[in-house]
Amino acid sequence: MTAASEEEPVWVGLDLGTQSVRALAVSASGQVVGSGSRPLRSRRDGTRHEQDPEQWWEALGAASRAALGELAPERVRGVATDGTSGTVLLVDRAGAHITPALMYDDSRASDQARRVNEGGRTVWSSLGYRMQARWALPKVLWMLEQWPELARGARLAHQPDYINRRLCGHEVPADTSHALKTGYDLIHEGWPCEVLERLGVPEGLLPSVVRSGSTLGEVCAEAARQTGIAVGTPVIAGMTDGCAAQLATGALCEGQWSSVLGTTLVLKGVSPELIRDPNGVLYSHRAPDGGWLPGGASSTGAAVLSTSFPERDLDELGRRAADYEHTGVLAYPLLGRGERFPFAAADAEGFLLGEPADEAEHFAALLQGVAYVERLSFDYLHLLGAPIHGELTLTGGGTRSRYWCQLRADVLGRPVRLLENSESALGMAVLAASAGRSTAQVAAEMVRLREVIEPRPDRVERFHEPYLRLVGELADRGWLDPSVASHARARAGA
């Protein structure tokens, strides 16, 4: 943690993650002057994933107090909160939760997702996506069917809505970012009432909505006691955790992208125009400054490493993997069943072709496989007409391995940027500091670059053949559209 001038203003970013709540106090120059974190607990059972919303508030209060413990209260100029995209619950008129929260990856609403896609096909097509079982609107239908007696007189709340109401002490609107997966029309900026009526969503269930970055109210006295944030501090409408992570990278100008490699792989970029995806696997948020933030989330990612090599030293395996860049073993590193991006295939399953000589070669194949999926994602974005010419920033737990970052630069054939801090909570501090200013400009002042990794010229060509081999395998199995495979081959010069 770096000391900042005691007079410098500070903004607080609050990140409601899956496993913890994180609070950061960040100065105007991007220095983290206070931080706090508290764990969260989940209830999981098959497709079910729930959390108790009250623990969000308790954990947030403790994390915030820890972050602000030594700061003068008057230095804090604003606070913003992000949450997991698609996490929703029902609350009563006083804002108290009356159901558990259905988390972002709860997928019990598959039947409802089909109904939602049939009932709102024209609207979703105009917005460039298709609804998925994990999205919020199918979950709304599921809750209405599961708890009809509770739904009478209830209101829907996204994860940050529940927190922002507690912070302000009164009902607050949702933000456009979290409302996207509930069906909010980002083009016309309103709920598609005819579709919702057709689906049986009661009038008055859904909240009003404002643009991310809008002021929702001020911290009330009770919230100040719980959080340590001074009474009267502006509360700013936030964004989803994925968008918050993008703000934390400063990737907010046309053609810039951030690639978040954690449990899964998530790409987020910037486009002046809405990118419409006929396959429905790419969707776009509204940028705080205008324009669009297209993105997609793959089901592949770093989770395959810890699952494939439990209780092993992954850093040591990563060092040994560098000896197997000529491996003939090819991996599609998918855990479980089903892929979401850069293609949608409910029956997709991971595979390993070839027999690794040892665990280091197996590990190398997995590292390369994730990098190939990342490259395929950019080939698909190019096919859709998305601008991808700008800087690429890597974030997430995968960046702890510098070798993996180098490998990804080699496979992609482009430089990659690494940052001093890329937490979602930092992105919310950036958004809170952007009131009346360009978010891109504020991010340029607050986001700190650590390193740029250039691709190794002698390695770039080496990875073309195995990449195209994976593309062919995905197409042959019927998961990847042949036109996407052809475009990938054309971009590789094959």
The angle subtended at Cα 483 by Cα 478 and Cα 486, nearest 5°, is 100
pLDDT at residue 225, rounded to an integer: 97
pLDDT at residue 316, rounded to an integer: 92
The predicted-structure confidence for 421-436, as pLDDT tens digits, reads as follows 999 999 999 999 998 8
The predicted-structure confidence for 445-468, as pLDDT tens digits, reads as follows 999 999 999 999 999 999 999 999
Residue 3 has pLDDT above 90, yes or no: no
What's the average model confidence in pLDDT over 309-325? 91
Instruction: Give CA–CA dist 468/62, Å, rounded.
Output: 50
From the centroid of its chain, how far is CA 307? 22
- What does each C-alpha distance from 72 to 33, 221, 228 come to in angstroms? 11, 17, 10
Report the SS3 class of residue 126.
Answer: helix
Instruction: Give CA–CA dist 321/366, Å, rounded.
Output: 10
What's the average model confidence in pLDDT over 44-60? 96
Domains 10-238 and 253-491 share a fold: yes
What contacts 418, CB < 8 A, 6 or more positions away? 393, 394, 399, 405, 449, 450, 451, 452, 453
Measuring CA to CA, which residue among 69, 68, 33, 8 is closest to residue 421? Answer: 33
Q: Are 29 and 10 in contact (CB under 8 A)?
A: no
Residue 1 has pLDDT above 60, yes or no: no
Residue 2 has pLDDT above 50, yes or no: no
| Mean pLDDT for all residues in the chain | 95
Look up residue 130 and give its two tokens.
Answer: 């298709």
pLDDT at residue 358, rounded to an integer: 95
pLDDT at residue 7, rounded to an integer: 80
Q: Where are the domains of the chain?
A: 10-238, 253-491
What percentage of the chain reaches a pLDDT higher than 70? 99
Residue 443 has pLDDT above 90, yes or no: yes
Look up residue 404 and give its two tokens.
Answer: 């993996």
- CATH class of the domain comprising 10-238: alpha beta
The angle subtended at Cα 191 by Cα 439 and Cα 57, nearest 5°, is 60
The predicted-structure confidence for 86-122, as pLDDT tens digits, reads as follows 999 999 999 999 999 999 999 999 999 999 999 999 9
Residue 43 has pLDDT above 60, yes or no: yes
What's the average model confidence in pLDDT over 201-209? 95
**For the stretch 285-297, what's the b/e string if a residue is b when 16 or more beta carbons lie within 10 angstroms of its beta carbon?**
bbbbbebbbbbbb
The predicted-structure confidence for 325-347, as pLDDT tens digits, reads as follows 999 999 999 988 899 999 999 89
Look up residue 252 and give its two tokens.
Answer: 């907010």
pLDDT at residue 494, rounded to an integer: 67
Which CATH superfamily is 253-491 part of? ATPase, nucleotide binding domain (3.30.420.40)
The angle subtended at Cα 365 by Cα 359 and Cα 370, nearest 5°, is 130
The predicted-structure confidence for 370-384, as pLDDT tens digits, reads as follows 999 999 999 999 999
What's the average model confidence in pLDDT over 59-73? 96
Report DSSP letters for 2-38, one per residue: ----TTS-EEEEEEE-SSEEEEEEEETTS-EEEEEEE
